[in-house]
């Protein structure tokens, strides 16, 4: 497909790099001349100009484009350029942050008024992602794979874990749960080849139901949360949560949690606290600094289940979480502007570090099919913070060429492997002699350099 992308901040750049790896033809538009040098080594048509200008869009080839993505930092530019692109027959996507442009509580969806097929609110998408993690034990990250309940979770093995120096055979997981991959020093490795666990390993586990998350916690001897499944929700014994940062993300997060948890939303800006208070029903807003030991103690930080830092400053978020850890909080979450800093945050003991820009980019990428595909047979589930590896799901259709073949004869490119298979709601790790069946969902871990080969591999039908 031919795709035009406007705005080359971190969101636009990550989308561009990923789509190039997948084999799309791209044009990029950036107003800031200083950012243009990054495209000299990329196979893209680069335009220095205003994306809201018809002449700039025409120069980028908007009349022949399949998709337009508005990823600039200006909602107005994204809206105007999307309106123009829509008149040229493009499918349109745009990041829209201002609540005045988005319907109340809408996280992503269609905005017919502006001709936008998929509008994504970064603040709300990020807050939803964080809330989902805060309602799961151990702050594990999770990605849904099947409608039947299958999902992939990942978590960091703590420094003091008794499992370090033990291999995967030393962990007994419940039926329906498998260790699919281990990320170590920025590289994803097959668990069968990983040897013994090491402190800081990021463990990926495929499970057939979120009901089994507490059992996975127990198997990995993590700090156990008192958790139960009630209906469709996981209820966790994390009754009190502190959020530092009364910005849009902090407020949206507090709104998502306030009806089921005691939420303390704090900020050193009194005006922001007052504004937040008008938008919240039950959460308490407190005018204090997140790095004031005495004030945090007075607000009962020793009793919180998790401390979350959502300010615009990565450095402040890091410091606030470190202070919270020193005061006894065991679960901390911080927002990070630069995704490349996420491993550093994790190395110093912060439980979870998240990049709003990375979450926004991944959300958009999930809605774009691979070149030549009418539907996404190969679907990206998530990317690792280093942006060097992807977690993919391949749905095995009836006519895919690998149907009936032994897994050992399905040769994947270097630096990629099948971590697990979900078959009829059951999670399994196939042997080389097991046969691929229609309906199988292959969970593949792959380096970015192998993505084009994987896409090409799974686009072939049995007749082809």
Instruction: Let me know whether 50 and 109 are in one domain.
Output: yes
**Number of domains the chain is built from:** 4
Q: Looking at residue 17, what is its pLDDT?
A: 86
Instruction: Let me know whether 287 and 386 are in one domain.
Output: no
Instruction: Let me know whether 316 and 214 are in one domain.
Output: no
Q: Can you give the CATH number for the domain in which 289 is found? A: 3.40.50.720
CA distance 213 to 62: 46
| Residue 156 placed within a domain | yes
Q: Looking at residue 236, what is its pLDDT?
A: 41
Tokens, residue 261? 């948890």
Instruction: Let me know whether 278 and 342 are in one domain.
Output: yes
Neighbour-count burial for 147-173, b at 16+ CB within 10 Å, e otherwise: eebbbbbbbbbbeebebeeeebeebeb
Q: Looking at residue 385, what is its pLDDT?
A: 57
Instruction: Let me know whether 50 and 113 are in one domain.
Output: yes
Instruction: Let me know whether 135 and 231 are in one domain.
Output: yes
Instruction: Let me know whether 355 and 308 are in one domain.
Output: yes
| Residue 62 placed within a domain | yes
Instruction: Let me know whether 87 and 144 are in one domain.
Output: no
| Residue 61 placed within a domain | yes
Instruction: Let me know whether 323 and 267 are in one domain.
Output: yes
| Residue 463 placed within a domain | no
| Residue 74 placed within a domain | yes
Print pLDDT tens along the chain (464 aa). 899 999 998 889 889 988 888 788 999 999 998 888 888 888 999 999 999 999 999 999 999 999 999 999 999 999 999 999 999 999 999 999 888 898 877 888 899 889 999 999 999 999 998 998 887 656 666 676 766 667 888 888 877 788 887 888 888 898 999 999 998 877 888 888 888 898 888 888 999 887 888 888 888 877 654 433 434 443 444 678 999 999 999 999 999 999 888 899 999 999 999 999 999 999 999 999 888 889 999 988 888 889 999 999 999 999 999 999 999 988 899 999 888 888 889 888 898 899 998 889 888 888 886 544 444 467 777 766 555 678 888 889 888 889 999 999 999 988 899 999 999 888 998 888 999 999 998 999 888 778 778 877 887 665 54
Q: Looking at residue 288, what is its pLDDT?
A: 92
| Residue 464 placed within a domain | no
Q: Looking at residue 137, what is its pLDDT?
A: 57
Identify the domain containing residue 110 by its residue range. Answer: 2-120
Q: Looking at residue 227, what is its pLDDT?
A: 37
Instruction: Let me know whether 15 and 73 are in one domain.
Output: yes
Instruction: Let me know whether 214 and 262 are in one domain.
Output: no
Instruction: Using alpha carbons, list the distances in angstroms from residue 101 to 6, 78, 107, 395, 415.
Output: 19, 11, 12, 36, 43
Q: Can you give the CATH number for the domain in which 187 is found? A: 3.30.70.1450
Q: Looking at residue 139, what is its pLDDT?
A: 63
Looking at 202, 235, 268, which one is the last position of a domain?
235
| Residue 65 placed within a domain | yes
Instruction: Let me know whether 242 and 227 are in one domain.
Output: no
Residue 92 and residue 82 in contact, taking contact as beta carbons nearer than 8 Å: yes
The total of other beta-carbon atoms located within 10 Å of residue 345's CB is 24
| Residue 253 placed within a domain | yes
Looking at 179, 201, 235, which one is the last position of a domain?
235
Looking at 101, 120, 139, which one is the last position of a domain?
120
């Amino acid at each position: 497909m031919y795709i035009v992308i406007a705005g080359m901040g971190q969101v636009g750049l990550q989308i561009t790099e990923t789509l190039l790896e997948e084999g799309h033809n791209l044009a990029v538009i950036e107003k800031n001349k200083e950012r243009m040098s990054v495209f000299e080594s990329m196979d893209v048509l680069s335009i220095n100009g205003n994306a809201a200008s018809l002449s700039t869009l025409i120069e980028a080839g908007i009349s022949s484009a399949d998709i337009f993505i508005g990823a600039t930092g200006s909602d107005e530019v994204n809206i105007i350029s999307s309106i123009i692109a829509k008149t040229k027959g493009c499918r349109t996507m745009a990041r829209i942050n201002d609540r005045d442009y988005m319907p109340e509580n809408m996280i992503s969806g269609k905005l017919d008024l502006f001709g936008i097929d998929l509008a994504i609110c970064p603040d709300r998408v990020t807050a939803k992602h964080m809330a989902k993690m805060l309602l799961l034990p151990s702050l594990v990250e999770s990605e849904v794979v099947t409608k039947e309940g299958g999902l992939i979770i990942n978590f960091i093995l703590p420094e003091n874990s008794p499992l370090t120096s033990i291999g995967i055979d030393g962990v007994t997981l419940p039926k329906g749960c498998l260790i699919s991959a281990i990320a170590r020093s920025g590289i994803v490795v097959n668990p069968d080849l990983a040897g013994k666990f090491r402190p800081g390993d990021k463990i990926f586990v495929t499970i057939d139901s979120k009901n089994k998350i507490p059992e996975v916690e127990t198997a990995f001897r993590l700090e156990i949360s008192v958790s139960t499944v009630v209906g469709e929700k996981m209820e966790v014994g994390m009754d009190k949560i502190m959020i530092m940062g009364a910005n849009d993300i902090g407020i949206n997060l507090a709104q998502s949690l306030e009806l089921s948890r005691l939420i303390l939303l704090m900020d050193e800006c009194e005006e922001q606290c007052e504004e937040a208070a008008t938008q919240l029903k039950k959460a308490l807003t407190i005018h204090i600094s997140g790095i004031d030991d005495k004030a945090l103690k007075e607000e009962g930080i020793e009793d919180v289940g998790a401390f979350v830092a959502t300010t615009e400053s990565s450095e402040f978020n890091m410091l606030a979480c470190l202070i919270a850890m020193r005061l006894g909080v065991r679960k901390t979450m911080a927002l990070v502007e630069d995704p490349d800093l996420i491993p550093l945050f994790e190395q110093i003991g912060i439980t979870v570090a998240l990049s709003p820009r990375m979450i926004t980019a991944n959300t958009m990428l999930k809605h774009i099919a691979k070149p030549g595909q009418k539907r996404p047979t190969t679907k990206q589930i998530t990317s690792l913070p280093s942006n060097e590896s992807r977690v993919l799901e391949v749905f095995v259709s009836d006519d895919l060429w690998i149907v009936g073949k032994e897994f050992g004869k399905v040769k994947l490119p270097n630096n990629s492997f099948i971590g697990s298979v979900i078959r009829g709601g059951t999670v399994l790790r196939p042997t080389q002699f097991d046969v691929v069946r229609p309906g199988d969902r292959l969970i593949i871990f792959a380096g970015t350099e192998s993505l084009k080969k994987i896409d090409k591999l799974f686009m072939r039908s049995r007749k082809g």
